[in-house]
Structure 1
Amino acid sequence: MGENTSLEKATFGAGCFWHVEEEFRRVPGVVSTLAGYMGGWKEHPTYEEVCSKTTGHAEVVEVTFDPAAVTYDHLLRVFWDCHDPTQLNRQGPDIGTNYRSVIFYHSPDQERAARASLEHEQRSGRHARPIVTEIVPAATFWWAEEYHQHYLEKRGGGSCRW
């Protein structure tokens, strides 16, 4: 890590958190990744509750990164590349608001960068349909159960990506 830098957090929802966590875990400059839930009203939600679609939470990955080693803009690029941001409340066969495409920003700078990145992505011509990604303030991050943490890494790789 760079000297005299403080670590920052970024939080992304892009479908099943197993795949998303694996994508961000591999990025140089990312210090840690945690699977969890954000954006709902239920405190201390369980996986079963989130999957029941009654909590309002999205499956997310909280990324702790060293901004001297990797930029937030680079993390946004990873986010856009690891899912289809034009699918409303789903990714592939995973359906529900808990699988929504969402960027939870932790600062005004992150909000500005996320909105500019979304505009750039929409104008890029990479997507035939409009992007439906939400950009909202970060809320309480609820840590997912231990068996979800580094799920694909524990199982020797693979993917749950469709």
Structure 2
Amino acid sequence: MNVATKTGPGKGRWRQFGGVAALAVALAGAWQVSRASETVYNIAPPKVDEQTSGKALEKAVIAGGCFWGVQAVFQHVNGVKNAVSGYAGGDEKTAQYRTISSGQTGHAEAVEISYDPSVVTYGQLLQIFFSVAHDPTQLNRQGPDTGTQYRSTIFPANAEQAKVATAYIEQLNQSGVYPKKIATTTEPLKGFYKAEDYHQDYLVNNPYQPYIVINDKPKVENLAKTFPQAFRKDPVLVAAQGR
């Protein structure tokens, strides 16, 4: 049994472990599980970035596997005012977890980041995204999660974001840092649809769930180590903003 794999149509439904002892065994075996979420790519910042002069709060929508971990990472980034788990890439009528889990809706599990560009730029958010938030070389999967709903995708909100994202992907592919070509795509942002409430602030609310311990906590730890100037200890929470 792969302890890092979610089961059933409702994410977070785990095969039952036999108490604390079994959980300890499961966590001890974490080293044998795919560790894609723990990969750190030390990459240069983008050569092309957004113009921030005079800009108010901006939004960025990205997808990089299970949104629990991606949301958790950006909740710890200075300048981020909110990070909401949701769905992007499909129609509003299919933007429910049980529906998108089929992999047939066109949706990806995504995170909408509201940020202050005078503190953190769009390009800097993408640097974190490509470095510690996920493995951009994996096609239609992240670690134990497979399917197009777990694809690596950037959903630019405007032409400037599209220019930054496209240029950065090209820059990173030419850098030689990654073992394979980047699988990340860019797609037009048709809309962003907030996920069910139980998906919000998931790492904070479920810090000891095995999936979180194995796959997502390492991402936040890597953020703190790799981008110490950008790291904020206390995460900004969706629940605190009444959204």
Determine the structure 2 residue equivalent to 1:88: 139
Query: Residue type matched to 1:15 in 2?
Result: G
Q: Which has the higher helix share?
A: 2
Determine the structure 1 residue equivalent to 2:170: 119
Contact 1:16–1:160 (8 Å) recurs in 2: no
Offset of 1:111 from its aligned partner? Answer: 0.5
Determine the structure 2 residue equivalent to 1:22: 72
Q: Which moved more, 1:78-87 or 1:96-105?
A: 78-87
SS in 2 for 1:43: helix
Query: Residue type matched to 1:49 in 2?
Result: T
1:70-112 deviations in whole A, cap 9, x for unaligned? Answer: 1111100011012111111001110000000000001111011
SS in 2 for 1:121: helix
Determine the structure 1 residue equivalent to 2:43: none
Offset of 1:42 from its aligned partner? Answer: 5.0
Contact 2:85–2:200 (8 Å) recurs in 1: yes
**Where do 5+ consecutive residues of structure 1 fail to align?**
none
Offset of 1:156 from its aligned partner? Answer: 3.5
Determine the structure 1 residue equivalent to 2:8: none
Determine the structure 2 residue equivalent to 1:161: 215
Q: Which moved more, 1:39-48 or 1:99-108?
A: 39-48
Q: 1:17 to 1:159 in 2, by over 3 A?
A: farther
Provide the TM-score with structure 1 as the length reference: 0.92
Identity %: 44
Match of 2:105 among 55, 66, 77: 55
Matches within 5 A, 1:2-151: 5-41=55-91, 43-81=93-131, 82-151=133-202
Q: 1:12 to 1:117 in 2, by over 3 A?
A: same
Q: Which has the higher strand share?
A: 1
Separation in 2, partners of 1:159, 1:83: 15
1:6-61 deviations in whole A, cap 9, x for unaligned? Answer: 11000000000000001111100000010000001352521111111121100000
